[in-house]
């Protein structure tokens, strides 16, 4: 399916991945309706920072995915839906799990129900590598057991299964995109890479982190966006779960020192208890098997391996260190 000229809905268009995806869809000639979270400030989130030509091309819908009537209204006339709207902070899910069920599970139900009723031709449901929990086998394939090690991951497992149930029960053309640890410009400082970069950029050399031994598979934002677009365009992807990961594994500690090298700094890492997950909730190891994406989509990470990670970190650090961007982050404060 060629997305050029297609009417496309992106939920969560105001967020990190959603804003990058929305911008790329506009560049590729799609007619994009950007579903942003309603607020009294009239903010479009990160889309407020998009270049004027992109903002002018957007059809912006302010609403809430928890509202089935608003979701249906936003989806009317759309052929393709990228569903990214979700609560994603793991620590926040420990003390407010109810909001994760409402937003992530019920919100996804509203999306696929409206898609079924309106005859949408493709729905891309956004998952997360957190649904796998700590790897039992590596690399992690799509058939790896699902392990809800946090209320957040449990809500995303539920959301994925709701979406897939509509494929099995009703033939709703759903694909579950399962990105591993996406990073890049605009990411929340709750994530580890922006946490490290912003502290160094603010002049700190004693870097405060949580657990440093877990490994992650970091996926640069442009690779993730390319994966989403490839999924929407591949007929063979319907009904499938597809990993989007670099296939390269690195510990949090090694990542911090690599970032320091990229930024020309010498750092010391100290642990802060408030940044630690409960012991049974920490995902100790993530490493993607991305062969299915290669086979079905022809997708390969352009920022894979240690060299690709370094290049992605250079771009990311360059963005965060611009004063106008760094000023958006509360560097001295830990926020769940």
Q: Where do the domains of the chain lie, and which CATH numbers do they carry?
A: 7-181+220-244 (3.40.50.720)
- Mean pLDDT for the stretch of residues 224-232: 98
264, burial (CB in 10 Å: exposed 0-12, middle 13-18, buried 19+): exposed
Q: What is the pLDDT of residue 128?
A: 98
The total of other beta-carbon atoms located within 10 Å of residue 218's CB is 28
The alpha helices in 178-289, defined as continuous H runs, are 192-201, 221-233, 252-262
| DSSP-based three-state secondary structure for 207 | strand
- Mean pLDDT for the stretch of residues 25-35: 98
The alpha helices in 76-210, defined as continuous H runs, are 90-95, 97-100, 107-118, 151-170, 192-201
Q: What is the pLDDT of residue 184?
A: 98
Q: Tell which residue, 90, 313, 298, has the closest CA to residue 210.
A: 90
Q: What is the pLDDT of residue 336?
A: 81
CB 92 within 8 A of CB 134: no
Task: Supply the DSSP string of 129-140, one letter for each residue.
Answer: GGGG-S-SSSSB
pLDDT of residue 130 exceeding 80: yes
Q: What is the pLDDT of residue 332?
A: 72
Distinct helix (H) and strand (E) counts, the chain: 13, 13
> What does the DSSP 8-state code read for residue 288?
B
Q: What is the pLDDT of residue 334?
A: 84
> How confident is the prediction for the chain on average, in pLDDT?
97
pLDDT of residue 261 exceeding 90: yes
Per DSSP, what are the bridge partners of residue 220? 183
- Mean pLDDT for the stretch of residues 38-48: 97
pLDDT in tens, 59-79: 999 999 999 999 999 999 999
Quickly state the pLDDT bin for 100 (edges 50, 70, 90): very high
137, burial (CB in 10 Å: exposed 0-12, middle 13-18, buried 19+): exposed
């Amino acid at each position: 399916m060629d997305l050029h000229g297609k009417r496309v809905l992106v939920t969560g268009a105001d967020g990190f991945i959603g804003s990058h995806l929305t911008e790329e869809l506009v560049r590729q000639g799609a007619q994009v309706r950007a579903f942003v979270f309603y607020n009294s400030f009239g903010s479009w989130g990160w889309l407020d920072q998009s270049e004027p030509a992109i903002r002018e091309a957007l059809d912006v819908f302010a609403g809430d995915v928890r509202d089935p009537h608003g979701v249906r209204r936003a989806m009317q006339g759309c052929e393709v839906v990228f569903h990214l709207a979700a609560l994603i902070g793991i620590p926040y899910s420990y003390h407010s799990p109810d909001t994760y069920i409402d937003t992530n599970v019920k919100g996804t139900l509203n999306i696929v129900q409206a898609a079924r009723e309106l005859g949408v031709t493709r729905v891309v449901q956004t998952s997360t590598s957190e649904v796998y929990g700590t790897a039992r086998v590596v690399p992690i394939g799509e058939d790896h057991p699902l392990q809800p090690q946090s209320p957040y991951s449990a809500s995303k497992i539920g959301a994925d299964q709701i979406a897939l149930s509509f494929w099995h029960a009703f033939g709703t053309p759903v694909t579950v995109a399962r990105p591993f640890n996406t990073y890049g410009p605009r990411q929340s400082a709750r994530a580890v890479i922006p946490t490290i970069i912003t502290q160094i950029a603010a002049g700190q050399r004693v870097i405060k982190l949580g657990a440093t031994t877990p490994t992650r598979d970091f996926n640069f934002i442009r690779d993730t966006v390319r994966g989403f677009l490839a999924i929407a365009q591949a007929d063979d992807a319907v009904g499938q779960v597809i990993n989007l990961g670099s296939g390269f594994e690195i510990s949090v500690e090694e990542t911090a020192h690599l970032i320091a090298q990229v930024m020309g700094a010498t750092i010391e890492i100290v642990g802060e208890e408030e940044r630690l997950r409960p012991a049974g909730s920490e995902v100790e190891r993530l490493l993607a098997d991305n062969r299915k994406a290669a086979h079905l989509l022809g997708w390969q990470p352009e920022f894979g391996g240690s060299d690709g990670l370094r290049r992605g970190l250079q771009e990311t650090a360059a963005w965060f260190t611009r004063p106008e961007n760094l000023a958006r982050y509360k560097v001295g404060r830990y926020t769940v």
